[in-house]
A and B are shown apart, each in its own frame.
Chain A
């Protein structure tokens, strides 16, 4: 038997790197959307680098995506165990360093970032208590982050939402601060699908290099394999970070 053939959607599949950028995708036990995130990275023209939660080597990546899933089954609190992974300590240090490593947390990745205190707030169970999977309309509130610079401010985009614990909560003071500092990156448009405070779908840190959101941009990068509306709004997250890395718009 050959051991060379890639598994489906394996990271070893060739990418058409245009930028030379290397973007890490972290896998924890129970991570589900790592292959999708890696595909999105490749679709944007970068190299996807697999990062294992238990390792401590960031492999010189230029940015990191923490993908969605149910790490450790979410049996404790979503993200509560993963934040203690050795790789997370490295990522937190790099994100807070002068180099300001760009980090995108999607769904469970967002939950891990709040548990790691890289982003404020927390996620609790959806207000309707059910898992929900739908095509979700969002408004880009802040296009000045490393992961949103390719959008117009106020642009409405459709990507996939799917979660059980997606209700964003924080105290009023934090929410006021987020608003005042323009750190609400995305909000839900139309219907608030999980009861999030102030319809918040995603936030950033002060420097704008760390962004977390509940919806899934990596599921809206290819026509025919994402939302019914066939858009590829999710791809802009990944091209944005490449623009950021080559010194384009902040």
Chain B
């Protein structure tokens, strides 16, 4: 029997569905709950066809519908002031948010997860994560200008980390490097909690002129609907709904076929092709095909436009001629876009496709019927109100509750634990602890990873990892540009879900300000366990509440993002990990501040801004000792704002030559990173801060108190710098000076470590494990 016969056998028309109400449908296998299936039947007034069932099942999945989080995510839209909305051109809900940069420029950015696919098939999972987020940026009418990757892996010495780390890093490099987009930063964290659930988040940023802004809507009755780019194949069927909407479990079969396969060359050509379409104003609306493929693109375009669309599904170009209509509708084949084109522009559109050798097929047109009609050889197989597919999915108020163990966890502080006894106190012990810290998996040099990414392409990269944020120039004539930093601390958020989310924002805000940019917008990727676990749901609710409250105080709106749930193995969830990306504006990136001092900074004064408290719970040092308990460092958003203002003003007025924020690993990490950035030593003393803040040398070096930064101030600027900080009522201490001759970091009265010694410790770890 030929495949063709099998395919025809599967055609289930609307007429047939109405006539055969009692046919058994595999709705449970497609991930729908019984109440959801009943709702679909109610909406349609009959049983769905096989194709309709496929569409609803993917669009109503957790990944696509945000059904567990919608009620909570509303806070991001509600907790906004008029001031915060001033520069916001497009807010949440579109493919990516758009922020005004001035001079007619705008910037769009978004962070997304590709966690589950990256565990199943690390190379392709990570690669297609980059591909998907880049297409979101193009869909807004923007030219993508940079990417970033916050990563979380299991234990560095776990056998499976070899497979995952090598696969993910080469996947990001293999795909991203082929697109001509500089990879300007991210973070890498190792923790056994992510062993079976690595987090692979991907961020892309794009720039556009105001008038080039595009939205995903199908307007203009009679306009043509076209699908272009790669052909549709069997890869990724059910990828979004199946993989990202349930937990991994040893008892289930491999999900490998559900992972999409990427073709970066096709994506690169698609980018250039789309930009040429935008430049010539050839498309009315455009939508990328990501999760849920054609189901998503047709239903979203139709429901955001005039409300109707007619599509002939046999016109879709296929890689595999045996695909059923349902499979075609669900396929998550990469490198595809759908656009709406006026009849007059059809010829010009086809000329652009021919120039770039991109395949396309005209599928149908925009109607005003308020129905999305999909036919198969003329027979109607889908007849739905597109809004019910795209927007009216189920919304759940999942039960949530603070877990009973949270109190005991918070009571178990580092210093009261056995791990927190006999802390380093002598110079030798402190030196050994600093070397151990900077060689640890989380604090060690990550150039083994970043050197596999192209950070230079485009010629506009002003800062990249390991600097505090990635900085890209957008307008060559003025130097206008943006800074972006991504941060999260799963341990902090585990100890206090509300404060942890705020700490993630505080750190990324601080990083952007440290490089000299004015924080302007936020995108978040909320990585959590199963929302069906009330404790996880509580972590999530607290995280969203904490983040939205903090955004209000700092005056930065959330412009979009992504929620990734079910990151758990069995009943063991990951630490709640809200990755926060802050975007900052530069009027001229030439004034950005690097994270270390150069040789010519010899003799400059090193100041520590902010105060240091005894805050070791959840710290990297406690982590090194295998302890996790207590409460994370106190969040002080007003102090973060003041610190940010100082760093931005100091950059603008040329008062500092280097700046680095204090975060994981505290002063010890920040000092060594500044020394190692350009291999230039320093001499510092801790006496002033020890006396002023009432702490010992160990706490001074390893505490992770917030709202702090280190800066290098030229002698000629010291008076001005101190005047500014005292006028703002911010505490500073002069720790010492940059010492280019010494070739070492000296903590006076404690220890001296040569730059070579520090470098060896810092750079050896990744090579040791990954070659």
Contacts and interface: CB of A to CB of B under 8 A. Distances in A.
Please indicate whether A and B come from the same complex rather than being unrelated chains: yes
Interface of A: 1-3, 5, 7-9, 13, 29-30, 32-33, 35-36, 39, 54, 69-70, 72-75, 130-134, 160, 162, 164, 216, 218-219, 221-222, 224-226, 228
Interface in B449-465: 450-462
A196 B453 CA distance: 21
Per CB-CB distance, the 4 closest pairs between chain A and chain B, nearest first, are A73-B265, A32-B180, A36-B459, A219-B456
Interface stretch (B18-26, B206-214, B228-236): B206-214
Nearest to A71: B265
B351 interface: no
Contacts of B268: 29-30, 32, 70, 73
Contact of A225 (B281, B451, B459): B459
Overall SS of chain B's interface = mixed
A93 to B, nearest CB: 24
22 contacts: A1-B281, A2-B209, A5-B209, A7-B143, A7-B279, A30-B269, A36-B457, A69-B180, A72-B265, A73-B265, A131-B170, A131-B174, A131-B454, A132-B452, A133-B450, A133-B454, A133-B456, A160-B456, A162-B177, A162-B457, A218-B459, A228-B678
A247 B280 CA distance: 42
A226 B456 contact: yes
B147 to A, nearest CB: 13
Contacts of B263: 73
Contacts of B454: 131, 133, 162
Of B143, B207, B456, B473, most buried by chain A (CB within 10 Å of CB) is: B456
Nearest to B450: A133
B264 A70 contact: yes
Nearest to B268: A30
B178 interface: yes
Contacts of A3: 279-281
B274 to A, nearest CB: 11
Interface string B444-488: 000000111111111111100000000001111100000000000
Given A30-B268, A130-B173, 9 more contacts: A3-B279, A8-B207, A13-B476, A13-B477, A39-B476, A72-B265, A133-B452, A162-B177, A219-B459
Contact of A29 (B269, B456, B458, B477): B269
Given A29-B269, A130-B170, A162-B454, A70 B178 contact: yes
Contacts of B265: 29-30, 70, 72-73, 75
Given A7-B275, A7-B279, A9-B476, A224 B459 contact: no
A64 B211 CA distance: 34
Interface residues of B, number: 47
A70 to B, nearest CB: 5
A9 B458 contact: yes
A36 B456 CA distance: 10
B145 interface: yes
A226 B211 CA distance: 31
A35 B459 contact: yes
A70 B175 CA distance: 11
A174 to B, nearest CB: 30
Of B143, B207, B450, B476, most buried by chain A (CB within 10 Å of CB) is: B476
Nearest to B479: A224
A204 B473 CA distance: 34
A36 B678 CA distance: 26
Contacts of A164: 177
B180 A225 contact: no
B751 interface: no
Contacts of A226: 456, 459
B590 interface: yes
Contacts of A2: 209, 211
Contacts, number: 110
B459 A9 contact: yes
A164 to B, nearest CB: 8
Of A5, A9, A133, most buried by chain B (CB within 10 Å of CB) is: A133
B459 A134 contact: no
Contacts of B266: 73
Contacts of A7: 143, 275, 279
B459 A131 contact: no
Of B177, B269, B462, most buried by chain A (CB within 10 Å of CB) is: B177
B357 interface: yes
Nearest to B453: A133
Interface string B244-268: 0000000000000000000111101
A95 to B, nearest CB: 26
Contacts of A160: 456
A1 B178 CA distance: 30
Contacts of B281: 1, 3
Interface in B703-745: none
A225 B460 CA distance: 6
Interface in B10-57: none
B279 to A, nearest CB: 6
A160 B456 CA distance: 8
Given A7-B279, A8-B143, A133-B452, A33 B457 contact: yes
A131 B177 contact: yes
Contacts of B104: 5
A13 B263 CA distance: 31
A225 B462 contact: yes
Contacts of A72: 265
Nearest to A1: B211
Contacts of A225: 459-462, 473
A57 to B, nearest CB: 15
A1 B207 contact: no
Contacts of A219: 456-457, 459
Given A1-B281, A133-B454, A8 B145 contact: yes
A81 B212 CA distance: 34
Contacts of B769: none
Given A8-B145, A131-B174, A73 B456 contact: no
B396 interface: no
Contacts of B473: 225
B459 A39 contact: yes
A222 B589 CA distance: 13
A1 B212 contact: yes
Contacts of A9: 458-460, 476
A35 B281 CA distance: 22
Nearest to B590: A224
A131 B452 contact: yes
Nearest to A38: B459
A73 B356 contact: no
A75 B590 CA distance: 38
Contacts of A1: 211-212, 281
A162 B280 CA distance: 33
Contacts of B453: 131, 133
A88 to B, nearest CB: 17
Nearest to B459: A36
B280 A29 contact: no
A216 B460 CA distance: 15
B180 A33 contact: yes
B458 A36 contact: yes
Of B453, B459, B476, most buried by chain A (CB within 10 Å of CB) is: B459
A165 B180 CA distance: 16
Contact of A134 (B179, B279, B451): B451
Interface in B675-720: 678
Contacts of B145: 8
Contacts of B170: 130-131
Contacts of B458: 9, 35-36
A3 B279 CA distance: 6
A133 B451 contact: yes
A216 B179 CA distance: 17
A101 B174 CA distance: 34
A29 to B, nearest CB: 5
Contacts of A5: 104, 209, 211-212
A51 B461 CA distance: 25
A9 B272 CA distance: 13
